[in-house]
Amino acid sequence: MVLITGLFFFVIVYQRKMIKNQVALRRLEDERQQELLKAVIEAQETERKRLAEDLHDSVGQVLSAIKLKLHKLDKLNEGQNAMLADTRKLTDECIQEIRNIIHNVLPPVLTDFGLIDALQALCVKMNDNTPIQVAFTRKLGDERFGSEIELTLYRIAQELFGNAVKHSEASTIHVDLAKNGNTLVMSFRDNGKGFNIETVKHGFGIKNLRSRVQLINGKIDIYSKPLSGTITTINIPLPRR
């Protein structure tokens, strides 16, 4: 009887130890995946920065030199050469397109002025370049939130806008940025056709959004259903000052 009781307790202790080890192993695996994901995202941002700098320093400079020479040729021809004028126009369009790419890849307004101004500029750009009416509301003062938080929320806003343009068929989008105590809250609401969240919650797009938010210890909630639009809310805990 004593032997059976001893074996019984041994099995219980062993099982508890195994469960504890499995939990610890899962935690280590989750931490490792988070570290790998963070490294991948950091590598992507580094490559984006390098691409933007290369476009500005090489292609942008070459096109600017071409534009200058075309301008001189145009003056020599007293503006009478239509083909030359068309070439100048195409060069101007190419320079502007490269500037747009650079601003999308590495927006100066984000690094220089912060998330609030960057989101405002992004909403203005959406209004200017798409049929969607975009409204931006802020319920906080002028402040910065750290480069990692600001860049993450800006990239998420870019992705949400891209998804809305491609899939939602929305006519209006509302972007709100606010502080609730020590939490930064960004919400994104559209009046589009919506979708069944259960059918896409394991898709790459939503998984990518969740992973980005988790890297800054945040939480993302997505609510949508067919014909009812989509609401995405992101809560980010801020460091205490």
pLDDT of residue 16: 63
For residues 80 and 182, state if they share a domain. no
For residues 127 and 102, membership in a common domain is answered with no
* Domain match, 62 and 93 both: yes
Domain containing residue 117: CATH number: 3.30.565.10
Longest Cα–Cα distance of the chain, Å, equals: 111
Same domain, 124 and 216: yes
Closest residue by Cα to residue 175 from 225, 230, 107, 236: 230
Q: How many Å apart are CA 172 and CA 131, to the nearest integer?
A: 9
Same domain, 92 and 158: no
Q: Would the pTM count as exceeding 0.95?
A: no
Q: Can you give the pLDDT at residue 94?
A: 76
Same domain, residue pair 79 and 118: no
pLDDT at 14: 47
pLDDT score at 239: 82
| Rounded distance between C-alpha atoms, residue 218 and residue 184, angstroms | 9
**Same-domain pairing of 89 and 164:** no
Is 69 in the same domain as 172? Answer: no
Contact 135, 123 (CB under 8 A): yes
Q: Are residues 138 and 95 in the same domain?
A: no
The answer on 115 and 9 residing in a single domain is no
Name the domain boundary from 50, 75, 106.
106
pLDDT tens per residue, the chain (241 residues)? Answer: 544 554 445 456 545 655 665 555 556 555 555 565 555 556 565 666 666 666 656 666 767 777 777 777 777 776 567 777 777 777 777 777 777 776 666 778 888 899 999 999 999 999 998 999 999 999 998 889 988 899 899 999 998 999 899 888 999 999 999 999 899 999 999 999 988 888 776 666 788 888 889 888 899 999 998 888 999 999 999 987 6
In a shared domain, residues 218 and 160: yes
How far apart are alpha carbons 219 and 233 in whole angstroms? 8
pLDDT at position 116: 94
Q: Which domain covers residue 148, as residue numbers? A: 109-237
Separation CA 19–CA 183 (nearest Å): 34
**Total domains in the fold of the chain:** 2
Are 75 and 114 members of one domain?
Answer: no
Of 90, 106, 122, which marks where a domain is finished? Answer: 106
Which of 106, 123, 143 is at the close of a domain?
Answer: 106
